[in-house]
Structure 1
């Protein structure tokens, strides 16, 4: 679908009602999307909570972060594999396959006798989770009408927020009784229900044009690139991190380049072109995802070291951010025309104001301003992201609908991985290292905030260009 067609459709059709998501076949598809989000996100949040208990039972403390990291790496690669898997198995077979892979990884985590088995199982689980979460985006683009997508994407974000509140308590309950494996065993029935529902409800007609073979080379390059970014954090020296991040960007860039001439694509046509709506949308996902990761990874440290907040409450910023994101999403999900343009353009402006607020909070030492800015940041993401996702899907070329939608989570995750690594480098250059005191943390975090202003400012101009392409000026 071209940008002009998307714009015309947006002008002609009002947003659907919430009730439409639960009528007829849409009800099952909505449940599938929500269940996929719940399964995927819960296994991210639970692991963070149970890891101290895991290490105390099976050891492997030196590989503490790998259980989380390999899940994320697997998820990025899994989301990139959605197009080829759909091409061979169809939508129904792809969802069942994704669920079974996710179940296999979850079972492996539940029975792991040691840390090596656990982190390998997490990689398998992450790959299945990436196939699921990328597949749900493909499902949204294929079975929901254009005027329904902002509604279902709002529901999608709402499910994430619920899990952000519930997940730590769910994992904490199993850690409290000393049975961390229960967090995985109890997930298996829901995963099998997901597989059964996929087989029962996903139509056979959902498929993708088949190519000449599974893209192992591109998947391999992408995997190495993502691993390089993820592993950059273990280097204390700035040059070591810079080298790995540079190698990662080169590998990921080469993956995009090779993919452009392939018969079976991982990405849509010209995915990073700033002259096309999809390319502009992908750049927004990368920039905002990277900025969010850079900021949120350091906010808990700021709360605990600079403001003396207890460890029990250091996750407050993530909850505030996620809740504000959901509030913003639900407020604007039904907006069209000029109001939709306002929401999309206003989002990055909120982000810019939020980062300025973070800087002011660091300079004057205000915890209240820090938390208000955190809310503003999440709200800014929410008000533009729901329309951004819908327009990326709606601007896909004919025949590329599934691969365009399914690669969106992967593209955003790449941005987050790069943002996290970049934040670590900037913080280290600013003095964060073996000495962790209020003055050092304040200086390091302030430096990260200053650097983050640059990509956020760029996003203001990118979203303006995007809205000119896809949002009508009159209703």
Structure 2
């Protein structure tokens, strides 16, 4: 076992996260290859495989489900293959920190990975669509914990100077999965079967499990009496279920009420959690008086805004611009590619002021990108739309790693696992909420696949305008988050 993996994966009050180094500390001498040094190699590969499993499964289902439906039927349930996975991952991810605190990272990672593999096998050998959905739910429950714990282990198992590079490496893996995943899944489905595409997860999951058992320690249990707060968790599950079912409601008024009810349930979950003696979220979550509280809003709002593109950009490229599935998918992957490239380029920032500017600039870039996407769709001008997608990707690439690192570093030691584990969970929740709002907007404007091209272009343009609004509070909150941050993240007097 690597020497660094022998330490507790739960920092204590006496073991704070080390401060960010300044240029004089030799940060500029750190190399990407340091991630593969003997003491970090297993952890780096494990984290990248965890991201790869999460990303590949996101793209796998949309590719293989038509073939699965042709064999076993159940086409009316296809939307739930994504919804149940998301619900499972969000709910389990929210409880990951409490599970880790009570049972230890190694045991929780073991059970979560086995649950994911069981769900994979269940979906692979299903003879009906309900069986596939049960498998997808199990995959989501396992993968949500895996993703949350992978985030929680980053500040514990890496020196601070390497954390941006870890996020950069994960961004590269995500880009490869987003671009190559659909092609790989399609090729396996055509040459083997849709069941074979699902089964690819089995060897990958087993490799991840071996690495996780090697990296995560069993000696990080901090509170054996820690209970999972069931009321907030149930409210969260109910809220996400209602939100994700809104898209299947035909009546527009009922759909709107469904979205509002879902948001109310999610909000109630946060309020109830604040009053619980054992909380899912860090203290002050979503309050505006602390770096963590304000920063979590950014982690939520940026995916809410991005979700509209995730749902409708490829559809628009096919039905408004007239591109085929392959070309539309390629243009649709520009955002992920831009995210990865920019994340790699800015991972070597050494100046605290430059990192603060990167965090503040993320929502600004996203706002500009969303304006260009809406304009490109409205004018039917592809270069403007693609540039907008690239700017949105650059927004995440420039700010995401430093924002996450700042929130981890700003959390009290006892709360760090909750903050770290909540980051990927909030990202998934943001995409789910954004997709529900985008669907409500498009449907209220008369969206349907049967619209003529000009009408569809106008409907999608208006749909792309709305998420611009979600970037405005994110810009304000980014400045506040940085301003509230402790040194070295917060600006010192007289400096910006």
TM-score by length of 1: 0.94
Match of 2:359 among 339, 344, 348: 344
> Which residue does the alignment assign to 1:406?
421
Q: Any residues of structure 2 matched to 1:290-305 within 5 Å, and which?
A: 290-305=304-319
Structure with greater contact order relative to length (CA < 8 Å, sep ≥ 6): 1
Aligned to 1:136: 150
Distance, in Å, in 2 between the alignment partners of 1:361 and 1:83 is 42
Q: Give the counterpart of 1:63 among 60, 77, 85.
A: 77
Residues 362 and 398, structure 2, Cα contact 8 Å, conserved in 1? yes
Q: 1:332 aligns with which of 330, 343, 346?
A: 346
Contact kept in structure 1, 2:43 and 2:211, CA below 8 Å: no
Partners in 1 of 2:442 and 2:342 — Cα distance? 30
CA-to-aligned-CA distance 1:31-51 (integer Å, 9 cap, x gap) = 111111112221221111111
Counterpart pick for 2:460 among 413, 422, 445? 445
Is 1:467 the equivalent of 2:482? yes
Query: For residues 312-339 of structure 1, what are the alpha-carbon distances to aligned partners after superposition, in whole Å with 9 as ceiling and x for unaligned?
Result: 3222233100000111111111213222
5+ residue gaps, structure 2, are: 1-10
Counterpart-to-counterpart distance in 1, 2:408 and 2:100: 17
- For normalisation by structure 2, the TM-score amounts to 0.90
Q: Which residue of 1 aligns with 2:97?
A: 83
Q: Secondary structure at the match of 1:236?
A: coil
When residues 33 and 96 of structure 1 are mapped into structure 2, their CA distance, relative to the original with a 3 A threshold, is same
How many residues are matched?
A: 473
> Which one is further off, 133-142 or 9-18?
9-18
Residue 347 of structure 2 is aligned to residue 369 of structure 1: no
Query: Cα distance, 1:178 vs. partner?
Result: 5.0
8 Å contact from structure 1 (residues 272, 283) kept in 2? yes
Structure 1 partner of 2:407: 392
Residues 206-252 of structure 1, C-alpha deviation per residue, up to 9 Å, x if partnerless? 33434443333332221111111111101132222221111111211
Distance of 1:205 and 1:313 partners within structure 2: 50
1:22 aligns with 2:36: yes
SS at match of 2:414: coil
Worse-matched range after superposition: 444-453 or 229-238 = 444-453
Deviation at residue 391 of structure 1 after TM alignment: 0.8
Partner residue of 1:311? Answer: 325
Matching of residue 427 in structure 1 with residue 463 in structure 2: no
Cα RMSD between the aligned structures? Answer: 2.1
Once residues 264 and 208 of structure 1 are traced to their aligned partners in structure 2, the CA distance between those partners, rounded to angstroms, is: 13
> 1:268: which partner in 2?
282
Query: 1:457 corresponds to which residue?
Result: 472
CA distance in 1, matches of 2:334, 2:353: 28
Cα–Cα, structure 1 residues 98 and 329, in superposed 2: closer, same or farther, change >3 Å? Answer: same
Once the two structures are TM-superposed, the CA of residue 388 in structure 1 deviates from its matched residue by 0.8
C-alpha displacement of 1:399: 0.7
Q: Is the 8 A contact 2:369 2:388 kept in 1?
A: yes
Residues 229-238 or 113-122, more deviating: 229-238
1:104 to 118, 135, 139: 118
Question: More displaced, 282-291 or 22-31?
Answer: 22-31
8 Å contact kept, 2:102–2:226 = no
